[in-house]
Amino acid sequence: MRIAMASALLCIALVPATAVHAQDQHSITIATEGASPPWDGTDANGELYGYDVDVGLELCRRIAIKCKFVAQDWDGIIPALLVGKYDVIMSGMAITEKRKKSIAFSVPYAAGYNQFIVRKALALDPGDVRQKLSLTAPGTTEKAVIERLRLQLGGKTIGVLRSSNSEAVLKELFGDVVTLRSYDSLDNLKLDIAAERVDGGLADYFTWRDFLETPEGHAAVFFGPQVNGGLWGPGVGAGMRKDDTDLIARFDKAIAAAVEDGTIKALSQKWFKTDISPASTK
């Protein structure tokens, strides 16, 4: 599903990279990667689209501020925020303690899961791919599942998005048994999976779901459970500079209202075909 955002985004000036805080502006700029549909993508006309874009436009409407979306490579998305290139990050970014050391987050506007995919030709036993597994406080069951995955993935080459939480999880739990290959974009990882240059990948479940439905993705399948928690944090939030306290508060209030009145649910149904509303906005 692809929609053009040009009409909604015209005639809005970029916020200059100055010391003036975002809350002092009448407009803000929001960055998204534009390469991870259905969270965020870029259509054939170069327009950004996706869940992050729709939610961002809705939040800006609620707080009565003009906003413009710009594309930003994942590797530099936090550094560019800190130097004032834009004011907000909305790019399927998980709220984690590591990121909170340098930026602030809104309350979650989405919950989600992450999952492996592997090439069908490997003939691995996928296990229960619908199982939900939290790494927040892993017990006996969780540890047993991870150990089974380690045994089957041993010796395989697994791709991840560079500087992502999936990369951190892969290093921590599988780094001693797999060859880890980091990519500057998920698009390039998908190309290498289709070309059999890597054996599989670890990323957002919904991103993989859409990929597996394409001709290029038909040679791969889901592998193992849908995982969240731990290094992935409590959900997806909007990233902002720590001193933009008023803007953070306004986003929090708008997200809570959009969750309460069902707007977040409707947008998640539109883009993901399921409800990924956060369990809590507290």
Per-residue pLDDT for the chain (282 aa), expressed as one digit of tens each? 333 333 333 333 333 444 445 655 689 999 999 999 999 999 999 999 999 999 999 999 999 999 999 999 999 999 999 999 999 999 999 999 999 999 999 999 999 899 999 999 999 999 999 999 999 999 999 999 999 999 999 999 999 999 899 999 999 999 999 999 999 999 999 999 999 999 999 999 999 999 999 999 999 999 999 999 899 988 999 999 999 999 999 999 999 999 999 999 999 999 999 999 997 555
Query: 3-state DSSP helix/strand/coil percent for the chain, to nearest 5?
Result: 40, 20, 40
Q: Please say whether the beta carbons of 202 and 166 come within 8 A.
A: yes
DSSP 3-state of 95: coil
Alpha-carbon gap, residue 277 to 169, rounded angstroms: 24
Write down the H helix ranges in 74-131. 77-82, 97-100
> How far is residue 36 from each of residues 32, 33, 173, 188, measured CA to CA in Å?
9, 7, 24, 11
Domains 6-111+235-272 and 114-232 share a fold: yes
Q: CA-CA distance, 280 to 278, in Å (whole number)?
A: 5
pLDDT in tens, 31-57: 999 999 999 999 999 999 999 999 999
| 44: amino acid identity, one letter | A
The matching CATH number, chosen from 3.40.1830.10, 2.60.40.10, 3.40.190.10, 3.40.190.290, for 114-232 is 3.40.190.10
The CATH superfamily holding the domain 6-111+235-272 is Periplasmic binding protein-like II (3.40.190.10)
Domain boundaries, the chain: 6-111+235-272, 114-232
Sheet with 88-89, side-by-side order of all strands: 66-71, 27-32, 88-89, 239-240, 104-105
pTM (2 d.p.)? 0.77
Condensed to tens digits (0 to 9), the pLDDT of residues 161-187 reads 998 999 999 999 999 999 999 999 999
